[in-house]
Amino acid sequence: MTDCCIIGGGIVGLSIARELAGRGRTVRVLVREPRRDTASWAAAGIFPPAADLAAATPNERLTAWSDRLHRDWARDLLDETGIDTGLRVCGGLHVYRDDAGRARLQANAAAWRARGVACEWLDAEGVTACEPALAGGVRRAAVLGGYLLPDETQIRPPRHLEALEQSCERRGVTITRGATVRDIPVRAGRVDGVVADVAGSSETVRAGAYVLAAGAWSGALAKALGVSIETRPIRGQIVQLRMAEPQLVRVVNRGLDYLVPREDGTLLSGSTLEDVGFDASTDEATITRLVAFARDLLGDLGGAEPERSWAGLRPGTVDGLPTIGRAPACGNAFVAAGHFRAGLHQSTGTAVLIADLVEGCRPTMEVDAFAPDRAAQPPTKDSVSALLARARGED
């Protein structure tokens, strides 16, 4: 019998599958959406610097640990599959254009430094010295200054997904595509097979353990496990521009928007935070706004036109924390969901933690803060409602 059945083949599900298979377990992954329709494919792939301090919150510690693991995973994935996932310490600039933005960045800069993260405050001249392409934005007063995080990192999500999938297959993982899980029957405190529609017929998939890693769709499926979690779909749209020649080296952030330069000369402009339900379409007004954002910072884009655009549904949570742990009422079911805006970054640590729990060993890091039945935490500045308010300009 399969040791573990994973529901969901986004970055979280595939990372868990890879980790478990690497420990010698037989794993089957059930995947409904084509890869391109997952939040994982749609993501920008920005990894803010991660500080590993005793004083850090559990969420910060998960990010910092995952960040370290990513360096090893990128190297191992390259060795195993020949795919370069594009993990690069490219640096990140965070710029402001008004007093409110300046005040926010000053507070952020102080917080980064307090966590031991390298952070350099820059005036407009310093910004231009760092990224000459922002001179146009500085001239138009669209950029007045900001700070540099030399350790901000980027990864190419589609490549990382492809590498994970190939690595999983080499490790013997069975990935069943077009499989929609309909029900997770629980009998006598244990999941007794998951019922899925596969290629037009119903199949009950049995395994020793089950992991729910279905991104924004996890909340509805978790109810069958007696777990009440919200994984609210929060849409993010991105537009990709093909530049005549690369203009930026670093990720440039202003407010909640960002530009991400890729080594192949493309530039991503994103993103949005939209509470619109399970609708992963893009709309013209937003794409126009995102192109205008790129112009605001860079000036003339040298005739660059949007090459493609897409949207993904982030699994948002009320308290800004992912859910990682065993379903309290089921001895053999685990949940790994709700990573909101940090699912790529936190995927490696999540995978190791879930694999520890499935194997019944003490998790490598404390997981109580992420437990499916944790007490409601007060909203943080990263929680869905706070970020939506900020996206609407209400704070």
Ligand X SMILES: Cc1cc2nc3c(=O)[nH]c(=O)nc-3n(C[C@H](O)[C@H](O)[C@H](O)COP(=O)(O)OP(=O)(O)OC[C@H]3O[C@@H](n4cnc5c(N)ncnc54)[C@H](O)[C@@H]3O)c2cc1C
Coarse DSSP helix, strand, coil percentages of the chain, rounded to the nearest 5 percent = 35, 25, 40
Give yes or no for residue 168 binding ligand X (CB under 6 A).
no
Nearest to 28 by CA among 243, 135, 181, 155: 181
Closest CB to ligand X among residues 35, 102: 35
Closest CB 315 distance from ligand X, rounded Å? 5
Site string for ligand X, 185-224 (x = CB under 6 A): ----------------------------xxxxx-------
Closest CB to ligand X among residues 135, 198: 198
Cβ within 8 Å of residue 79, ≥6 positions away: none
Closest CB to ligand X among residues 30, 95: 30
Cis ω for the linkage preceding 15 (within 30 of 0): no
Give yes or no for residue 46 binding ligand X (CB under 6 A).
yes
Q: Give the residue, chosen from 11, 16, 248, 321, that forms a contact with ligand X under the rule CB under 6 A.
A: 11
Instruction: In whole angstroms, give the CA distance from residue 305 to residue 329.
Output: 53
Restricting to residues 250-309, name those near ligand X by CB under 6 A: 270-271
The size of the interface with ligand X (CB under 6 A), counted in residues, is 42
Q: Give the residue, chosen from 232, 250, 326, 345, that forms a contact with ligand X under the rule CB under 6 A.
A: 345
Q: Give the residue, chosen from 4, 17, 45, 153, that forms a contact with ligand X under the rule CB under 6 A.
A: 45
Give yes or no for residue 320 binding ligand X (CB under 6 A).
no
Binding region for ligand X (CB under 6 A) out of 202-210, 283-291, 294-302, 342-350: 342-350
C-alpha 120: how far from chain center: 26
Binding region for ligand X (CB under 6 A) out of 43-51, 167-175, 283-291, 354-362: 43-51
Q: Give the residue, chosen from 176, 180, 377, 385, that forms a contact with ligand X under the rule CB under 6 A.
A: 180
Closest CB 125 distance from ligand X, rounded Å? 29
- Rg of the chain (C-alpha set): 21
Give yes or no for residue 9 binding ligand X (CB under 6 A).
yes
Closest CB 276 distance from ligand X, rounded Å? 12
Nearest to 93 by CA among 229, 206, 261: 261
Q: Give the residue, chosen from 25, 339, 369, 384, that forms a contact with ligand X under the rule CB under 6 A.
A: 339
Torsion from C-alpha of 385, 386, 392, 393, nearest 10 degrees: 160
Q: Give the residue, chosen from 16, 43, 149, 384, that forms a contact with ligand X under the rule CB under 6 A.
A: 43
Residue type, 267: L
- Contact indicator for 131, 254 with CB cutoff of 8 Å: no
Side-chain half-sphere CA neighbours of 212 within 13 A: 35
Instruction: In whole angstroms, give the CA distance from residue 38 to residue 13.
Output: 11
Restricting to residues 109-138, name those near ligand X by CB under 6 A: none
Instruction: In whole angstroms, give the CA distance from residue 106 to residue 256.
Output: 16
Closest CB to ligand X among residues 161, 298: 161
Q: Give the residue, chosen from 207, 342, 352, 365, that forms a contact with ligand X under the rule CB under 6 A.
A: 342
**Residue environment code for 42-70, b if the CB has 16+ CB neighbours within 10 A, otherwise e:** bbbbbbbbbbeeeebeebebbbbbbbebb
Q: Give the residue, chosen from 6, 7, 259, 268, that forms a contact with ligand X under the rule CB under 6 A.
A: 7
DSSP string, 66-80: HHHHHHHHHHHHHHH
Positive or negative, the CA dihedral 6, 12, 68, 380 is negative
Instruction: In whole angstroms, give the CA distance from residue 240 to residue 267.
Output: 6
Q: Give the residue, chosen from 87, 252, 341, 383, that forms a contact with ligand X under the rule CB under 6 A.
A: 341
Residues lying near ligand X in the complex (CB under 6 A) are found at 7-13, 30-33, 38-40, 42-46, 179-181, 213-217, 236, 238, 270-271, 312, 314-315, 337, 339-345
